Structure 1
Amino acid sequence: MTASVFDLPATRRTHSVRSADGTSIHVEEYGPESGTAPTVVLIHGWTCSTLFWAPLIHELAGEYRVVAYDQRGHGGSGTPRRGGYGTGALADDLTAVLESAVVGDEKVVLVGHSMGGMTAMAAGDRAAVQSRTAAVLLASTGSGRLLAEAAVLPPRVRSKRVRDAFHRFLLVSSAPLGPQSAVTRAALKYGILGAASSRELVAATARIVHACGRRQRAGWGRVLAGLNLDAGVSALRVPTAVLVGGADKLTPPVHAHGMAARLSRFAGLTELPGLGHMTPLEAPAAVAGVVRTLVEDHLRPGAQVKEETA
């Protein structure tokens, strides 16, 4: 049977780290060993897991060391205790992963999708993250105002009160998704994928999202509903690129343009026409291209000299 691009390749190493509050964070490594190739660290979004990154890992692991981890409450990572949901906890977890995965004076490129991008923003002022990061890609994400800017409801629903209430319900509801069905797959396709998404892509997305526990989903949804990380965008002092799907209903392009305007070292905006919120699943080659540019420009030997003389 031919392996699907939506299945993870064999890991080179799997381990766990302890975050500041003791929560166990599951970490996977792919590709070359540490010190033999540039390192890219992948941070997934809400209701996802390392499985979300499978297509991108297939694109990158042949040339880069790829480190991916499950956000707390997702995949193989521990479920946080009461009070363990928040942007500070996300920053703590990323700090713990980088302190474990980055050796000596090595630096990495961070790739954060959705809540993963918010994690990079939340950790932007952490010395342990700053010293280990060469560049960042913020993919399909936003720094705040998620309820106000979401576009899941069609434009004909003009009431701001109705729109905000509906989008809040989507985030904070702990209602079970149940088993995959034609209805749930259609809803996911409409809400988070581009209209031209294949049946295989929709099924892969449903497999990832349905695996997230409903209590964990709601816990993080409450955090996202009140998100304000504008200061975190400004705290990112390394070259930072932004990527968004042109048809993203959860974090529409207005977020990408807003972050681009606030970044101190803006490294370019990529908008992928017709794509939804799950850009690394929908267009892994395009996302990989942006990652490669960041690696070659800011992480390869000689890149620092190139930056200083530019």
Structure 2
Amino acid sequence: MKPTPYAAATPRVLTAVSNDGQSLHVEVYGPEGAPAVVLAHGWTCSTDFWAAQVRDLAADHRVVVYDQRGHGATPPAAGPSGYSTRALADDLEAVLATALAPGEKAVLAGHSMGGMTLMAAAGRPALRAHAAAVLLCSTGPSRLVPESLVVPLRAGALRTRITGAIIGARAPLGPVTPVSKALLKYATMGPGAAPDRVAECARIVHACPRAVRVAWSRVLAGLDLEAGVRQLDVPAVVVVGAADRLTPPVHAYGLAAALPRCVGLDVLPGVGHMTPVEAPEAVTARLRELTAAYLGDGGSGTGTAAADRGDGITETEGEAV
């Protein structure tokens, strides 16, 4: 793993094998026996995307991160059929089986496509066995292209068509340049994003192979995980940047309304789509709250948090960090 400005200790590296034989690169940080957190990154990202959370949480948590198919150190799928929401769910099940003990509970978090991974796996036995609570960052279950605000036009067929062409573009991203960083910041980050964080996101996103980026874009364009949201019957917190153009807050409000046990909705002022990098303190704080509330017994997951009322939503406007 390349060193980053948020670099953590050397991980324990594992290999998970998915249902179709796909190998997955898995990294585990922190002390054995500590409360477990499993983090799933988004489209065009990698384990490096969670480096700020790893650095903070690994002091007293066991943190599991993995590279989705074709991202980071995980090889691409063997063919087009290897890119699907089923594959996302299969891969998460494989990671949970590899990194956690049988029946061990963990807090699961997903950013963007990682959040969609949790929705896709909502009805799976492994998620039900291992999920004590979930954190959904900057994500949505459907209508990703029509709801995107990347193209500054009124909602409608023209905006949807142009947005789809941009998201599915086959053109290579090329090297990281001042122009590419400015474009990435506009599309994926808030207007006040710090230059070092923009540069970090650009480094990660530009490293994603073009063919992998395009293959997953096709999956996202046709996404429909509304049923999965309703099956995600564990305590859930939703986090979104108020300035998110890729998965704008309309998705977060819909998730909060549809999740069976939503216990929090954070709208972060001035923050864009890359919440774990743009607002690392806010995301990490929510992860710590969830582990304290639902893994306070050290990971057996048998405790019940007072915050999990199951009958309402706590909405906060988190401070941009």
Sort the TM-score into its range (normalised by shorter chain).
over 0.9
State the 4+ residue runs in structure 1 displaced beyond 3 angstroms.
Answer: 3-6, 302-310
Q: Unaligned stretches of 5+ in structure 2?
A: 310-321
Residue of 255, 264, 269 corresponding to 1:268: 264
Alignment of 1:147-162 (within 5 A): 147-154=145-152, 157-158=153-154, 160-162=156-158
**Matching residue of 2:59:** 62
Residue 73 of structure 1 and its aligned partner are, at CA, apart by 1.1
Residue 158 of structure 1 and its aligned partner are, at CA, apart by 2.3
Residue of 114, 119, 123 corresponding to 1:116: 114
- Output the TM-score relative to the length of structure 1: 0.94
Deviations 1:98-140 (A, max 9, x none): 0111113311100100000000000000012111110000000
Residue 10 of structure 1 and its aligned partner are, at CA, apart by 2.5
**What SS does the corresponding residue of 1:138 show, helix, strand or coil?**
strand
Q: Is the 8 A contact 2:294 2:303 kept in 1?
A: no
Cα 1:74–1:261 change in 2 (3 A) is: same
**Distance in structure 1 (CA, Å) of the matches to 2:16 and 2:4:** 29
Q: Is the 8 A contact 2:26 2:66 kept in 1?
A: yes
**Matching residue of 1:84:** 82
Q: Is the 8 A contact 2:145 2:221 kept in 1?
A: yes
**Matching residue of 1:218:** 214
**Distance in structure 1 (CA, Å) of the matches to 2:49 and 2:295:** 24
**Matching residue of 1:13:** 12
Cα 1:164–1:13 change in 2 (3 A) is: same
Q: Is the 8 A contact 2:4 2:48 kept in 1?
A: no
Q: Is the 8 A contact 2:146 2:155 kept in 1?
A: no
**Matching residue of 1:277:** 273
Identity across the alignment (%) = 52
Q: Is the 8 A contact 1:59 1:285 kept in 2?
A: no
**What SS does the corresponding residue of 2:266 show, helix, strand or coil?**
strand
Query: Within the alignment, does 1:237 sit opposite 2:233 as a pair?
Result: yes
Cα 1:276–1:143 change in 2 (3 A) is: same
**Matching residue of 1:25:** 24
For 2:5, give the aligned amino acid.
Answer: V
**Matching residue of 1:106:** 104
Residue of 32, 35, 39 corresponding to 1:38: 35
Q: Is the 8 A contact 2:111 2:138 kept in 1?
A: yes
**Distance in structure 2 (CA, Å) of the matches to 1:284 and 1:255:** 21
Query: Within the alignment, does 1:257 sit opposite 2:245 as a pair?
Result: no
**Matching residue of 2:170:** 174
- Equivalenced residue count is 303
**Matching residue of 1:228:** 224
Q: Is the 8 A contact 1:30 1:67 kept in 2?
A: yes
Residue 4 of structure 1 and its aligned partner are, at CA, apart by 5.3
**Matching residue of 2:316:** none
**What SS does the corresponding residue of 1:306 show, helix, strand or coil?**
coil
**Matching residue of 2:191:** 195
Q: Unaligned stretches of 5+ in structure 1?
A: none
**What SS does the corresponding residue of 2:213 show, helix, strand or coil?**
helix
Residue 307 of structure 1 and its aligned partner are, at CA, apart by 4.1
Residue of 72, 82, 91 corresponding to 1:75: 72
Residue 300 of structure 1 and its aligned partner are, at CA, apart by 1.5
**Matching residue of 1:95:** 93
**Distance in structure 1 (CA, Å) of the matches to 2:111 and 2:189:** 14
**Distance in structure 2 (CA, Å) of the matches to 1:4 and 1:104:** 33
For 1:11, give the aligned amino acid.
Answer: T
Cα 1:200–1:16 change in 2 (3 A) is: same
Deviations 1:272-307 (A, max 9, x none): 100000000011111011111111111111863434
Query: Within the alignment, does 1:129 sit opposite 2:127 as a pair?
Result: yes
CA-based RMSD of the aligned residues comes to 1.6
**Distance in structure 2 (CA, Å) of the matches to 1:90 and 1:111:** 14
